Amino acid sequence: MHPEILEQPGYISASVAESPVREIFPGIRARPLWKGPSGAAAHLLEMDPNSSWPHRDIHEPGPEEVFVVSGIFNDGARDYPAGTFLHAPAGSWHVPTTTVGCTLFVFYPEG
């Protein structure tokens, strides 16, 4: 065990169970995990079965990176099972949806 790791400035951890949950659309919840000083952020997104973003999710001002933790995510064009990584460049868009439900780790490298 290396307790000195925890003494490093900026080294943090976040528990999903302790993260505040916010419903952003019906059946879609976000749990913030981390936010950096430049605006970069990490979230866990939970989507219930048969839930869908009500409009295009446009990636502005920067890109979005998604890892499908569980379930099956659909970007409006095709399905992505658990274990899939997606990189959506700035300016791109998709319409997140799922028929079976899914949990996503979402990272915004730019604020």
**What is the architecture, at CATH level 2, of domain 20-108?**
Sandwich (2.60)
Residue 67, burial from CB neighbour count under 10 angstroms (0-12, 13-18, 19+): middle
Query: Are the beta carbons of 51 and 97 closer than 8 angstroms?
Result: yes
The pLDDT tens digits of the residues spanning 68-97 come to: 999 999 999 999 999 999 999 999 999 999
Print pLDDT tens along the chain (111 aa): 676 766 778 788 899 999 999 999 999 999 999 999 989 999 999 999 999 999 999 998 899 999 999 999 999 999 999 999 999 999 999 999 999 999 999 999 986
What span, in angstroms and rounded, lies between the C-alpha atoms of 48 and 27? Answer: 5
Domain boundaries, the chain: 20-108
Distance of CA 52 to the CA centre of its chain: 15
Decide: pTM greater than 0.85: yes
